[in-house]
Chain A
Amino acid sequence: MYRYDEFDAQLVAERTKQFRGQVERRLAGRLSEAEFRPLRLMNGLYLQLHAYMLRVAIPYGTLNSEQMRMLAHLAEKYDRGYGHITTRQNIQYNWPKLPDVPDMLDDLASVQMHAIQTSGNCIRNVTCDPYAGATAEEIEDPRPLAELLRQWSTLHPEFSFLPRKFKIAVTAAEKDRALIKAHDIGIQVVKNEAGEVGYKIIVGGGLGRTPIIGQTLREFLPKDELLPYLTAALRVYNRYGRRDNKYKARIKILVQETGIEAFTNQVEDEYEIIDVSDIAVSEAELERISSYFASPDFEDLKDDPSELTSAIADNRAFSLWAKNNVAAHKASGYSIVNISLKPLDLAPGDITAEQMRVVADLADKYSFGELRTTHQQNLVLPHVKQADLPALFAQLQAAKLASDNINLITDIICCPGMDFCALATARSIPISQAIAERFADPERQRTIGEMQIKISGCINACGHHHVGHIGILGLEKAGVEFYQVKLGGDSSEHAEIGKVTGPGFSESELIDGIENMVDLYLKQREEGERFLDTYRRIGIEPFKEVLYA
C-alpha cells in the first residue's frame, strides 16, 4: 500500500495549517474572494452551483480501509451522508461548509490523504489501472510508477502553473482500464525485444471540447529515463502551450498544431540538454517505493474451490454476480471483485457513508484491507479468496452493493451535470437513471452484453461521452435541455472518438431512441458481437435510421 514518508506528512500538515490560516483570513475579510479563490482551488475546494464542493485525491485510485472509514466520517460529519466517486478516481463532497474545510483536511491528513492538486493548472492526481497489483495481465505492478509520479509532481515548482491542467494515467496491461490514450500523457509499462521493462509514452490525448486520441511519443523509454523525459515533455508544453486561449491551452492542442513528429523532436531536443542525473531517481529509491507495494501474503490455494462451485450451482443471484463482477486474479484461488456503484436508486458513483464503512470492513475481512476506485465510478476489492466470494456477496447484498451490472448497459459513467456543477449546461443524472430504469431487467442487460453508455452534462466531457459506445452530451437552448448522441466511441486500448449522429433529442425521445438502437443491434448482431462490434460492422447509418425514427 501507498504510505506517506516523513516529507509527505510534513508537507501535508504544513499545507493544511496554511489553508486553515487562509480560510480564517477570508472569513475575517483579510482576503478578498479574488485573492482566496486560487488558494481554495489549490486545495480542491470549488464553489459550485448550489454550494461548495471538496474534491479529495485518491492517489492512483488506491486506498485502504482506514482511509475509506475516514471518507465515511467526512461524509457524515461535514457533508450530507454520502460521497461521489469521480471519473478520475477521486471522491467529491457536494455540501461542505467553508469554515469546516480545514478540519476536513486535518482529518484527511490523519490518514495520509489530502485534496492537493485536484484542481488548478498543475499535474493532477495520477490515475491507474484499478486492477494494478492483482491482475495477471500486467507486466509488473504499475503503482510504484504512479507513486513515483505522485512524488515527483507534488508541488513541482516548475510545473505548478502550466498553461492548463495536466492529467497522467498509467497501466501495465495491454487491456486498458485507465484510458491512457485520453490523457495528456498516458504511460504503459511494456517490454522491448530484449525483454527489458520500460515505458511506452502516449501524449496529447484528451476529451473535453476538443476530443483527441493520444499519439505515441516514445515506443520504449528505459525506466530510469522516465522523470527526465517527462520533464522534457512538460518543459516543451510549458514553453509553447497556448496561454492566450483557455480552450486551446491543453497539450493535445499543442501536439495537434505542432504535429507529433515536430513535437517529438522538440521533446528529444530538450531531453538532450537535460542533466539526467539531476532528475532521475536512484535504483535504491525505486526499490524503496516498490517495497510499499509488495504483494500481500497470498495463501497457496487452488482455483474453483468447492465453496465457490457449490454457490454457483445453488445460488443463481450469486452465480450471475460472480460471472459479471468478478475478474481473474494473478494468484490462484483469489479473485478481483468489482463493486458496482450503479444501483437503480442512486446516482452513478454515489456511495453513502454507511456503505463506505461496510466496504471498509469487507476490505479488512476479505481483501487485505485494500480498495480501489475506478474511472468507471465503481470500487474494487483487489484480492479476495474465491472461497470467500459467497460470503462477501451476501454482505454486499445486505448493503445494497451487489448490483451485477459491471460493464453492462446500466453501468453508466455520468458526471454530476446541472444538478450540481457550475459548468454544466444540462442534467445528466436523471438521464442515467431513466436509461437504468428502461433497461432494469437483469436478463435483458445480460442479453445485450457489454455496453458502455457515458453521459456528460456539458462539453467539458467529465462523463467521457466521446468514448462511450453510446455517448450522450447534455445541452440547453432557450431553457430546454436536449441531448446529442455519439456512437462508436471506445475507451479501451483501441480508443476511438464516437461520431455525432445529428440533431439532439428531448429526454423521452432520447431514451426511446437508445432502446431502438439496442433493439437494432440485437437483431443485427452476429455471434459474439458486442454493440460496438455490430456498430463497426454495419456502420452508423442503420443506427441513425432507428434513432431518428
Chain B
Amino acid sequence: MSTLKHKGKGPQAMTANELQDGFSVWLDPSLNWTRIFADALRTEDEDLMEKMQDKADADEQNNIVVGTYFIDIEPDTGLPVRYREKFRVKGPSYDTADLLESQ
C-alpha cells in the first residue's frame, strides 16, 4: 500500500515555502528547490513521487522548507490545477514594490 501523502490525480508537483525567506518553491528534476515553477518536476511516476516526498520530509526536517505538499498539475498546460496554486506560481498581479522598482 502506498505511503504517499498526495491525494491528487494526474501529474503532481511538490511545493513548499522556504523557511528563511518564506518564498514559494517547488522541487525540480534534481530534487532541489527552485523558485521558478517552470523548472519544477511534474510527474505521475509513483516511485518518483515517493522520492519527492522523502526529499520534502528531509528538507522540512533540516529546516530548509516548511509546509510541503503535493499539488495537482493540469496535464495539458503543465500549470497547477487549483487557482490558489496558480497564484503562488505567478506571484502577485499587483505589488507596490514592483511600481517602486520600475521608477
Contact = CB atoms under 8 A, between A and B. Distances in A.
B100 A352 contact: yes
A67 to B, nearest CB: 21
Given A47-B17, A47-B67, A97-B22, A347 B87 contact: no
B99 interface: yes
B67 A49 contact: no
A82 B97 contact: yes
Interface string A23-34: 000111100010
Given A49-B84, A419-B92, A479-B86, A27 B22 contact: no
Q: Sort chain A's interface into a size bin.
A: 35 or more
A466 to B, nearest CB: 23
B2 interface: no
A29 B62 contact: yes
Contacts of A99: 20
Interface string B76-94: 0000011110111001111
B24 A50 contact: yes
B20 A97 contact: yes
Interface string B58-73: 0011110011000000
Given A27-B63, A50-B88, A418-B84, A347 B96 contact: yes
A386 interface: no
Given A97-B20, A98-B20, A49 B100 contact: no
A33 B22 CA distance: 13
B102 to A, nearest CB: 11
Contacts of A28: 63
Contacts of A82: 96-97, 100
A29 B94 contact: no
B95 A419 contact: yes
A155 interface: no
B31 interface: no
B45 interface: no
Interface string B36-53: 000000000000000000
A345 interface: yes
A104 to B, nearest CB: 14
Contacts, number: 89
Interface stretch (A111-119, A178-186, A226-234, A427-435): A427-435
B22 A47 contact: yes
A368 B66 CA distance: 46
Contacts of A29: 61-63
A33 B81 CA distance: 27
A476 interface: yes
Given A26-B63, A346-B96, A419-B94, A50 B23 contact: yes
B20 A27 contact: yes
A206 to B, nearest CB: 25
Given A47-B67, A479-B83, A81 B20 contact: no
A80 B84 CA distance: 23
A345 B100 CA distance: 11
Contact of B22 (A52, A345, A480): A52
A125 interface: no
A95 interface: yes
Interface in A72-96: 80-82, 94-96
Contact of A419 (B20, B62, B66, B93): B93
A51 B83 contact: no
Contact of B19 (A27, A350, A425): A27
Nearest to B97: A80
Interface of A: 26-29, 33, 47-52, 80-82, 94-99, 345-347, 350, 352, 418-420, 425, 427, 429-430, 433, 476, 479-481
Interface of B: 17, 19-24, 60-63, 66-67, 81-84, 86-88, 91-97, 99-100
